[in-house]
Every structure is written in structure tokens, then in C-alpha cells.
Chains A and B, each alone.
Chain A
Amino acid sequence: MKFVRRHLLTAYAILSFAYLLVPIAVVIAFSFNDPPGRYNYTWHGFTLDQWKNWDAVPALKDAMVLSLEIALLASVVATVLGTLIALALVRYGFRGRGATNLLIFVPMATPEVVLAAALLTLFLNVTVFTLGFGTILIAHIMFCISYVVVTVKARLIGFDRSLEEAAMDLGANEFTTFRKVTLPLIAPAILAGALLSFALSIDDFVITYFNAGSEVTFPIFVWGSAQRGVPPQVNVFGTVIFVVALTLMVVNVLYQRRREVQAA
């Protein structure tokens, strides 16, 4: 009985993993598909053409470039703003901590379509804003900040303050201590926050779609082409994004483990 139950659970876990991973396999496989028409929905034969002609659809390439630009800018700004908030929350006691935590938490707990609609009404009613690159960037920075705060804060809490005290005892001022001791130590946390922001930004559809005006990001291109027929190059880009993200994730996990081993 115990034997059956143990293996029942394992079988269930394996089935669940299959469920999680099969769609990913489909995405990758269809980047090698050779569809006869515009619809890349059924398997026709193996080809490397889509990979060789990855830039054959100019609109898709432009959309990808725009997504990368926005993700880069949004993650840099959101990481700086979010890290400063995390430092304040972990390092200092101050009035209004509860309200600060609430302001950081609520955007993450709001349905995306509500965030999107709210921003759009701001941009429609205040004529300073014209929908486009700037409004997409503003929106992405907004929804990334909270995630950076949460990520960096989690790592800062386990941080050993005695190293900073040692630096100060040895005559370093606050700024030098921050630059030479604190920053290198929390750099992995900051990098993790930046990578998360980048991933969130490049994947975002709902908020971007509402506030993009006539700009077309990668997800918006996919959305538009879903009605007309998705070019197989979309799967090529999807596969590349998947592999890059997976690699960074694995590197991050290995690096963390090495640091833990070193620290022990």
C-alpha cells in the first residue's frame, strides 16, 4: 500500500511536469516547422529555414527591437527606484512604513486590466501625455518597481551589517562604505531584481496594449498576427527568449549555491 501510494504521487508529479512542459516543447518544435501557408498550426516537416531567415518579417524584427529597448530602460530605472525603497525599508525605521508597504503591495494585487485601464484614463485626460514609447515606458517602470522591492528586500534582510561597521571603524565614510562594501554585497540581489523586471517588461501584453498608441511591441505583434496567421519566426524569437531566460535562471541558481557554499 505504501509502495503504491509513494509511486502514485511520483506518477502524478511526472504527469504534472508533462502538462507544464509540453506547450514549451510545442513552441520550440514549431520553430522548426515548414508550414505550407500562413498558419503555423499543424506539423508539416522539419526545416531550419525559419532560423536562417529569422529577420524575414521586418515588422516582427522592429517589434522585438522596441520590446528590448523598453525592457532595458524600464528595468534599469525600476531597479534603481526599487532598490532605494528596499534599502529604506530594511535599513531605517521611519513613519509611514505601513503605508509604504501597502503602496508597494497593492499594484501587484490589482488585476492587470485595471492597472491598464487606469493608466489609459490618465493618459487620455492629461494632454501632456501622448500614447507611445514614453507611456509604455512609464507603465513598465510602474509595475516593475514593486517586484524589484520585494526581490531586493528579501535578500537584504539576511545581510550581515558587521562588515559595514568594520569599514566605518576603519575610517571609511558612509558613501565609501556603501560603494565599496554594501553595493558589492547586495549586487546579486539587485541583478536578480533587474532580470525579473526585464522579463516582466518583455512579456507584458495587457498594460502595454492599452497604453501603446500605435507602437507595436513583440507581444502586441503576436496578438495582431494571431488573427492573421502567426509567422513561424515568432516561434524562433519565443524559443530564443525561453533559452536565454532559462540560462540566466540556471546561472543565478548555481551562483547563489556557490556563494552559500563559500559562506558556509
Chain B
Amino acid sequence: MGFFHRHRGLTPYLLLLPGLAWLAIFFLVPLGFLGYQSLQSGTFDVGYAFDWAWGNYWDALQRYHPWLVRSLIYAGLATLFALVISYPLAYWIAFRGGRWKNVLLVMIIAPFFVTYLIRTLAWETILADQGPVVGVLRDVGILGDNGRVLATSTAVVAGITYNFLPFMALPLYVALEGIDERLIEAAEDLYASKVQAFLRVTLPLSMPGVVAGTLLTFIPATGDFINAQLLGTPRQAMIGNVIQSKFFNLLDYPGAAALSFTLMAAVLLLIAIYARAIGTEKLTG
């Protein structure tokens, strides 16, 4: 250990080196290759060559903006639904959970213990045309006699909402659980109504959880292609489906790479706007 004594300042760098090297080589470098690939032209048979083919990006926006916009809308809707479902739930656990809090939390993340694809297939079963949900919706007249849920936008958004819900619920719970209940009591002592106390005290204090939850849900949801594939039809296809098919069916690597970067840019742009709207200090916590 003499080495460490003589070079104490080096220790943190030695600890960081293997892990950060892995992330640099297999995260940063691949992003560089993604950029490199996205500016190539040619065909799969002849081979692709790098020639600053910015046209790939023009193509990505020009031809595929409907898929891009649809992905952002689906992800946005799923985030909104996840928030509406999770907030009261997290609130209830944080303030009414008592000694059952841990059990209830385990129940919230329980869906994560079922393989992603299998729980999505379970939704396929639940929403199937002969299934109970469609039956009830047809009986009460919300759906027509031949109405379907599967293979619609509703099914895809519902699937995304379900699959990413714990990402929303957990940060919300952490934020709500951390609120000092005496602050809410103080507001009520000072003659705030329940609603006022919630809007002026609880909600602002839980904002870091709302912000973290929306980002953790929205970002992965934009790139999802499993729900659109299993619960939708090509008409519900998202940008992830296009990227996947360009890589594996069309073998159009530059096009797929350009679309991937466009997706990343679109997500970063939306996060920047979001950060602007709510204030950066809330985003970084």
C-alpha cells in the first residue's frame, strides 16, 4: 500500500478509471460513431461512405416528422396520465400509509418485477377483442358493437403509461414523504382551506418530484417501440419502430442513425423548454 501513501491524490482517479473508461468507450465513443454513421451515404450492398451527407437529417425531418411528432405526443400523454394516476396514489401512501408504507411502495414497483415484454403482452390479453374491458365498453355503449381498444392509439398510450408509471410514482413519493406535515398544519392554522393549503404548500414542495418523475417517464417513453408493436398497428408506429426497421429490415444504417440523433435532439430541446418554463433550479434540485 506504500504506493497509495505516496500518491494519495491519485487514489480517486484510480478508482474512477475502469468504470469511466467503460462509459467513455461504450457510451461516448458510440455516440460519435452514431454521428459518423448518420452523415454517410451509399447503399448496404455497395457500402456506406462518410461524405457529410446532411441530407439524411433533412430526410429524417421531412419524411419522418409524423412518426417523430406522434412519439412525442404519445410520450407526453403517457407522462400526463402517469402523473394524474400517481400523484394521488403517492400522496395517499406518503400521508395515509402509516406503517404499511414499505409494503405499498413494493406494490407500486411490483410491475417492474414482471419482464417488460410479458407485462405488455398481459395488456394485449386484457384489451383483446374478446376480453373483459372491450366487453364492458361495448355493453355500456362507449364502444360500438365492433369497436376495438387493441390496435388503437388508446391501447399504445395506455401500455406506455402502465410500463413507465413506477418511474413517475417513486420520485413523487420521495418528494411528498419529505414534506414536513407541520407546514401544512401551519397553513391550516392560518385559515387556509384544505385546497389552498394543498395549492400553496404541498404542491410547490412536491415540485421536485413532479419534475423528476415527468423527465424519468417522458424520456424513455419517446424512444419506446414495444408498446406500438404489440398493442398497436403500423398506423400507431413510433420513431423507435422506424429506427428499428431501418436498421434491421431496410439496412439503411445512415438513415437510422440520423433519426436516432434527431430523436435525441428533439428530447433535449423539449427538456430545455421545460427547464425554462419551470426554472432551472427546480430541475437540478
Q: Could you list which residues of chain A lie within 8 angstroms of chain B, going by C-beta atoms?
A: 5, 9-10, 12-13, 16-17, 19-24, 26-27, 30, 41-42, 80-82, 84-85, 87-88, 91-94, 100, 103-104, 106-107, 109-115, 117-122, 124-126, 138-139, 141-142, 145-146, 149, 173-175, 199, 202-203, 205-206, 209-210, 218-219, 222-223, 226, 230, 234-235, 238, 241-242, 245-246, 249-250, 253, 257
Contacts and interface: CB of A to CB of B under 8 A. Distances in A.
Contacts of B4: 174
Interface string B240-270: 1001100100000100110011011001000
Contacts of A245: 112-113
Interface string B266-284: 0100000000000000000
A125 B27 contact: no
A119 B33 CA distance: 8
Given A113-B260, A222-B121, A88 B15 contact: yes
Contact of A111 (B11, B121, B263): B263
Contacts of B33: 118, 121-122, 125-126
Given A91-B12, A113-B239, A117-B260, 5 more contacts: A13-B92, A103-B28, A115-B30, A118-B30, A142-B26
B21 to A, nearest CB: 9
Contacts of A230: 121
Interface stretch (B54-62, B125-133, B175-183): B125-133
A125 B37 contact: yes
Interface of B: 1, 4-5, 9, 11-13, 15-16, 18-20, 22-24, 26-31, 33-34, 36-37, 85-86, 88-89, 91-93, 96, 102, 106-119, 121-126, 128, 130, 162, 165, 194, 215, 219-220, 222-226, 230, 239-240, 243-244, 247, 253, 256-257, 260-261, 263-264, 267
A60 to B, nearest CB: 12
A116 to B, nearest CB: 8
Nearest to A254: B102
Given A175-B1, A246-B110, A117 B243 contact: yes
Could you tell me the dominant secondary structure of chain B's interface residues? helix
Main secondary structure of the interface of A (DSSP, over half): helix
12 contacts: A9-B96, A10-B92, A13-B89, A20-B108, A20-B162, A41-B124, A113-B240, A114-B261, A121-B30, A121-B257, A249-B109, A249-B113
Contacts of B109: 249
A4 B279 CA distance: 36
